[in-house]
Amino acid sequence: MPNRSKTLRHGALGAGCVHLCVDMQRMFAEDTAWKTPWMDRVLPNVLRLVAAHPAQTVFTRFIPAERPGQGVGTWRRYYRRWADMTLQHLGRSMVELMPELTAYVPPAAVIDKRVYSPWHEPALRQLLQRRGADALVISGGETDVCVLSTVLGAIDHGYRVVIAEDALCSSSDETHDALITVYEQRYTQQVETVPVAEILAQWP
């Protein structure tokens, strides 16, 4: 469970803060091969962040390949293994955000991506530059896949990174816990892991 005594080490969040919500989509929440059981559990905390700062929220969506075997390099093998999760089989409606979140778009923005990291998408970098972003609050799923790629890219781009630890979900308790430990022990100058209540209290 999150440590409720945690505080933001580097002070309050300001006007340059953006909430980057990772891949809270129907295909991970509903009965598919990629269902993430925790997603429903963390949704209320994600909604608290979104509702507090809808205009400062950016949702990412992971878009699978169109058909089995499509993709470059190992992605081709990946989509042969996960043929049922290609758009041809899954249907395009399943890449949509969870229904509870769609009501916030707009003012929230949506960035689509084809790989784990959203930083390959120029649209995300351009949006953050236009907004003068200097800090990112990160929520969503999965902790040990797309969230991990998002966090490491944000560090490389020089953003202050605040992980909403009780607004993250994964299919694995073990690797979720391991990643939180890594952030807290190895990235102490660049990553802060705190509960949603602390973020909201420090983000006017």
130-158 tens-digit pLDDT: 999 999 999 999 999 999 999 999 999 99
CATH number at residue 124: 3.40.50.850
Residue 200 has pLDDT above 50, yes or no: yes
196-201 mean pLDDT: 97
Distance CA 193, CA 21 (A): 15
3-state SS, one letter per residue, for 70-128: CCCCHHHHHHHHCHHHCHHHHCHHHHCECHHHHCCCCCCEEEEECCCCHHHCHHHHHHH
**Could you tell me if residue 52 is inside a domain?**
yes
**Could you tell me if residue 75 is inside a domain?**
no
42-54 mean pLDDT: 98
Residue 4 has pLDDT above 70, yes or no: no
How many distinct structural domains can be found in the chain?
A: 1
51-80 mean pLDDT: 96
**Could you tell me if residue 81 is inside a domain?**
no
DSSP string of 122-166, one letter each residue: HHHHHHHHHTT--EEEEEEE-TTTHHHHHHHHHHHTT-EEEEEEE
105-133 mean pLDDT: 97
Residue 5 has pLDDT above 90, yes or no: no
58-63 mean pLDDT: 98
- Token pair recorded at residue 19: 């909430």
Q: Which domain holds residue 52?
A: 17-63+97-201
Q: Tell me the β-bridge partners of 35.
A: none
**Could you tell me if residue 4 is inside a domain?**
no
**Could you tell me if residue 189 is inside a domain?**
yes
Q: What is the pLDDT of residue 61?
A: 98
Q: What is the pLDDT of residue 162?
A: 98
Distance CA 15, CA 21 (A): 18
Which pLDDT band holds residue 6 (cuts at 50, 70, 90)? confident
Q: What is the pLDDT of residue 3?
A: 42
**Could you tell me if residue 37 is inside a domain?**
yes
With H, G, I as helix, E, B as strand and everything else as coil, classify residue 66. Answer: coil
CA angle, corner 83, sides to 153 and 123, nearest 5?
30
Residue 24 has pLDDT above 70, yes or no: yes
CA angle, corner 145, sides to 139 and 148, nearest 5?
60
With H, G, I as helix, E, B as strand and everything else as coil, classify residue 46. Answer: helix
**Could you tell me if residue 11 is inside a domain?**
no
**Could you tell me if residue 153 is inside a domain?**
yes
